Amino acid sequence: MTIKGRAFIAGAYEHPGRVITDRTTMEIFAEVAAGALEDAGLSREDVDGFLCAGDAPGFGGISTLEYLGLRDVRYIDTTEMGGASYITHVGHAAMAIAEGRCGVALIVLAGRPRSAPAEARPRSQGPEANFEQVFGPTNPSLYALAARRHMYEYGTTPEQLAAIKVAASTHAQYNPRAFLPRKVTVEEVLDSPVVSDPLHRLDCCVITDGGGALVVVSPEIAGNLERDCVKILGHGECAYHARDGRVDLTSTGAKWSGPRAFDEAGLRPHDVHYASIYDSFTITVLESLEDLGFCEKGAGGDFVLDGSLIAPHGRLPVNTDGGGLCNNHPANRGGMTKVIEAVRQLRGEANPEVQVPNCEIALAHGAGGSLGTRMASATVLLGRADA
């Protein structure tokens, strides 16, 4: 079964807060859910599908359902794929709607890692822990391994990685809610402290509180709404791991999730007008662009130069809200905001300075886990309702 054209995103909402000290995580869940439903022109009584991930406190989806007062839900999905979860949820919601399991699916994310890091839901120790944690790896160090290997294999330079941060900051300066709203230069990125060689502090994403929500609906419901809806065209997901120690640090799961999404949509990378690419670190963007097929493997460094990622007229505008590198990385999970900004672009509602002209096809891509060990990837292709 294909999901192409079988479901639409009718509502999208990003919490305006980046440092939230006066609300609980569950209160943020309630605010983003209400915001997305209002954006769609629907109410919580209309919701019969619900999706969330590991950021949900308590008993996960069940606790969150109860708190939100959702009583008539007949489809629940709590798939956990880190930052890729919410792009995965878009595909799963579309599939559930296509199968008649629900008609209005609510997808939510919330967290306060900046204000209350102790509230972060602890991860269980996986079978790999005894073999890896004894060496003290950190998120930056694992991504730095990937960056250094990419440099060794393909001659990628720190300046090329810095160009990705420059593009993000160029967009963020027009976003009044961005956590880092100032444009930076390549030199400023390279002059920032080294966090884990070769990655500098400005190669790393921000840590913010906040959240977001999406409402996915059936074509019949979309047709009765006044709000502009965005058509879901294709979706792909995968798990990419160390393969018994034969990990390729220069590749990501996008190598599989991307082609699956493009094939279902009947599109190719050259058809995409705008892309939201998960940007936990600058190297994440570079490798994802290659694996999604926007350029050849190893050519990512050249691809991102000369303003190619900068809206409105770059060859592929990327992360026009400032992305996780500058705007928002709620709950340390950036997949949700990637879909939200893609929806804005397709609706013509991005910040005017970065709105891509005649944006008809958008891609959103998320990653969870680490480039250095194991990760999940999810890709979704979206189009205007008439696409």
- Quick check: 109 and 211 in contact, CB under 8 A? yes
**pTM for this model (two decimals):** 0.96
CA 114/CA 111 separation, integer angstroms? 9
Which three-class secondary structure state does DSSP give residue 196?
Answer: strand
Enumerate residues 6+ apart whose C-beta is below 8 A from 128: 242, 373, 374
CA dihedral sign of residues 122, 337, 376, 383 = positive
Q: Is 155 left (phi over 0), alpha (psi -120 to 50) or beta?
A: left
Task: Name, in order, each residue with C-beta under 8 angstroms of 198's C-beta and a sequence gap of 6 or more.
Answer: 144, 147, 148, 151, 158, 161
Rg value, the chain, Cα: 19
pLDDT given for residue 120 in this prediction: 65
User: Residue 374: what pLDDT?
Assistant: 86
Tell the residue number behind the tokens 């996915």, with chain if given: 216
Neighbours of 263 (CB within 10 A): 13
CA atoms within 13 A on the CB side of 185: 3
Residue-level pLDDT at 14: 98
pLDDT at residue 136, as a whole number:
81
Q: Compute how many other C-beta atoms are within 10 angstroms of the C-beta atom of residue 187.
A: 11
Q: Are 338 and 305 in contact (CB under 8 A)?
A: no
Q: What is the pLDDT of residue 155?
A: 98
CA 203 to chain centre: 17
The pLDDT of residue 194 is 98
pLDDT, tens digit only, all 387 positions of the chain: 899 999 999 999 999 999 999 999 999 999 999 999 999 999 999 999 999 998 898 889 999 999 999 999 999 999 999 999 999 999 999 999 999 999 999 999 999 999 988 776 656 677 877 877 778 888 899 999 999 999 999 999 999 999 999 999 999 999 999 999 999 999 999 999 999 999 999 999 999 999 999 999 999 999 999 999 999 999 999 998 766 667 789 999 999 999 999 999 999 999 999 999 999 999 999 999 999 999 999 999 999 999 999 999 999 999 999 999 999 999 999 999 999 999 999 999 999 999 999 999 999 999 998 887 888 999 999 999 886
Helix, strand, coil proportions of the chain in percent (round to 5)? 40, 20, 45
